[in-house]
Structure 1
Amino acid sequence: MPDLLRTLLVPALAILASAPLQAADEPLWELGAGVGLLSMPDYRGADQRRLYALPIPYVVYRGERLQVDRDKVRGLLYKGEHSEWDISLGAAVPVKSDDNRARRDMPDLDPTVEIGPRWSYQWRQPWGDVTLRLPLRKVLAVDLPHLRDVGTVFTPTLALDRDNHPWPGWHASVSTGPVFGDKDYFAYYYGVDARYATAERPAWEAKSGYGGWQLTMALTRRFKKLWVGGFVRADQLGGAVFEDSPLVRDRLSWTGGIGISWIFLESSQTVDTAR
């Protein structure tokens, strides 16, 4: 598998590793590595999927102003008692159109990276933490050394996190929310120019608006020097503004993965993660 593809798949598996650790005093930084399996459609709405085996880097930094875990940079902009501003990241894999029936003879989809600000607000309850997240990301198609702006995506989510559930030592999380995108973003994945139209694939022009609903469930646990986790995400595209695109072949799809990482290096300096 190309190194670029591996790099872009990591954020998809990163949701496995979003669980906080239990103790209040933790190492300032930790390093590790592991492996994971990821099954996912070529793109949201595709009726073909791939199975990937890939490395999972485990990187944690718990600084006062900069906090990095396996899926985000946190506290870089602002951190209050209940709310924070951070940098939200995302990525999507490339698609070779000749390997996808719906896109055959169309241009390949380059891998994309997403970056933008995110505001979060958290309600801590005895039975778990509820968090509202509002990320707004610019989407860039990567064709090194070039980057191309392919639109903007907004994915508000409401998440519930619980420790020691359903079993002692495990961390469970459920998050759900809609996807909204602009015309350029949906055109990148679902637009069909007239020159690529066929009898089975008529020309189609994208517009901005609602892009479906997502539901994600994850379960993780830390065993001293070992971390394990798994997740599944369902995508419902009913009612999306691109639902009638000829490139949408499946209106309900899922993505899932499992992973394991070994933490082999950590700092002797500790910090109070409950602060």
Structure 2
Amino acid sequence: MNIQLIFRSIIILLVINVPSYAIAEVGAGSCEILEVIDCDKNQANLTPEKGKWIFGVGIASVNGVPEYIGSDESRALLLPVPYIYYNGPKMKISQSGINGKLFNSENLYVSLSLSGAIPVNSDKNKARKGMDDIDGVIEYGPSFKYFLKGGDTKNNALFIDINFREARTFKNESLNFSSSPSIVFRKRLDKDYFLGHVSISGSFKFEFVSDKYAQTFYGVDPIFATATREQYTAFGGYAGFRFNTGLRWQKDNQIVSLFFAHSDISAAKYSSSPLVKVTTHNLFGGSYFWLFN
């Protein structure tokens, strides 16, 4: 097996199987699916002893997933997803990545930001028919979280998340970068419902991508121009915004989550591309997890 095939296999496993590690951001062409399924904005409810691992299995259903952000064609997905959580003295591994306290600060944390975009089969998409397929994308890089209220292990918190990620296709081709600075909140409701703990969370994100990233998803080379699809050069920069919110219920070793996400690329630098058929998207769904310990 060659190096490229090994790399591709690892990335596919990350994108398909790791909840909220991948397919996380709204950037050009990505479609935030797993970040809202059960990210750790509400993980403070677990509060296991230091150094303990928690594993589980789950399933998630997502509706309204666009072929790419800007496409007027969408799909529904049913995904098996694992559950991973570790609360160490200096590092936490959870549904939203790997987090560590920075400089012994109670307010500033650094983590690994992972995101991605699902592949697009152009022959099955009317706007892209006849064009090259878009390979899946994985994005990775540092994320800095600064808590304005609460903290990383608090039930109620408000924080700013600044991240910067390198973007690569499954074929290991660099698309340069993407970034999604955001404001995130979480709150545990004071009253228990249906004998379980209930939390709500949400985030508001601004998306930015490189020229090469934008061109990959929204550019039209002269060879692919038609009477209804003019040649187009896409430029990076501002790539729209996204709001997502979730409701999470947990009792003992069971977790149920409901989520909703809205994205808007009407003011994105590439919004005039002939491949952009709609400028807003809504996706929603739910998930169920069973924890082993």
Answer whether TM exceeds 0.5 for this pair: yes
User: How far apart in 2 are the matches of 1:34 and 1:241?
Assistant: 38
Q: How does 1:9-48 map to 2 (within 5 A)?
A: 9=16, 10-11=19-20, 12-17=33-38, 18=40, 19-22=42-45, 24-26=47-49, 28-39=52-63, 40-48=65-73
On the 8 A contact 1:5/1:94 being kept in 2, the answer is no
Shift of residue 56 of structure 1? Answer: 1.1
Shift of residue 129 of structure 1? Answer: 1.3
On the 8 A contact 1:15/1:71 being kept in 2, the answer is no
Secondary structure, in 3 states, of the residue corresponding to 1:195? helix
Shift of residue 70 of structure 1? Answer: 1.2
Task: Give the letter for the 1:49 counterpart.
Answer: S
Question: Match for residue 129 of structure 2?
Answer: 104
The ranges of structure 1 where at least 4 consecutive aligned residues each deviate by more than 4 angstroms after the TM superposition are 2-7, 76-79, 165-168
Shift of residue 80 of structure 1? Answer: 1.9
Shift of residue 86 of structure 1? Answer: 1.3
Shift of residue 77 of structure 1? Answer: 6.2
Q: How does 1:51-70 map to 2 (within 5 A)?
A: 51-70=76-95
Question: Match for residue 177 of structure 2?
Answer: 152
Unpaired segments of 5 or more residues in structure 2?
1-8, 21-32
Task: Give the letter for the 1:29 counterpart.
Answer: W
On the 8 A contact 1:120/1:133 being kept in 2, the answer is yes
On the 8 A contact 1:234/1:255 being kept in 2, the answer is yes
Secondary structure, in 3 states, of the residue corresponding to 1:103? coil
Shift of residue 128 of structure 1? Answer: 3.4
Deviations 1:189-244 (A, max 9, x none): 11111111111111110112111111111111221111111211111111110000
- Pick which of 113-122 and 73-82 moved more: 73-82
Shift of residue 171 of structure 1? Answer: 1.1
Secondary structure, in 3 states, of the residue corresponding to 1:101? coil
Which fold has the larger relative contact order, with Cα–Cα distance below 8 Å and residues 6 or more apart in sequence? 1
On the 8 A contact 1:67/1:76 being kept in 2, the answer is no
Question: Match for residue 8 of structure 1?
Answer: 15
Secondary structure, in 3 states, of the residue corresponding to 2:69? coil
Judged with a 3 Å threshold, the aligned counterparts in structure 2 of structure 1 residues 165 and 115 are, in CA distance, closer, same or farther, namely: farther
Task: Give the letter for the 1:37 counterpart.
Answer: S
Question: Match for residue 165 of structure 2?
Answer: 137
Secondary structure, in 3 states, of the residue corresponding to 2:238? strand
User: How far apart in 2 are the matches of 1:54 and 1:121?
Assistant: 32
Deviations 1:54-107 (A, max 9, x none): 101001111123311112111176552101111111121111111111111111
Corresponding residue to 1:163 among 161, 171, 188: 188
On the 8 A contact 2:44/2:155 being kept in 1, the answer is no
Judged with a 3 Å threshold, the aligned counterparts in structure 2 of structure 1 residues 104 and 71 are, in CA distance, closer, same or farther, namely: same
Secondary structure, in 3 states, of the residue corresponding to 2:220? coil
Question: Match for residue 6 of structure 2?
Answer: none
Unpaired segments of 5 or more residues in structure 1?
267-275
Shift of residue 255 of structure 1? Answer: 2.3
Question: Match for residue 30 of structure 2?
Answer: none
Question: Match for residue 269 of structure 1?
Answer: none
In the alignment, structure 1 residue 261 sits paired with structure 2 residue 289: yes
Give the number of the structure whose residues are more often strand, by fraction. Answer: 1
Q: TM-score, normalised by structure 2?
A: 0.82
User: How far apart in 1 are the matches of 2:113 and 2:104?
Assistant: 14
- Pick which of 222-231 and 120-129 moved more: 120-129
In the alignment, structure 1 residue 242 sits paired with structure 2 residue 270: yes
User: How far apart in 1 are the matches of 2:265 and 2:287?
Assistant: 27
**Alignment RMSD (CA, Å):** 2.3
User: How far apart in 1 are the matches of 2:252 and 2:107?
Assistant: 29
Shift of residue 23 of structure 1? Answer: 5.6
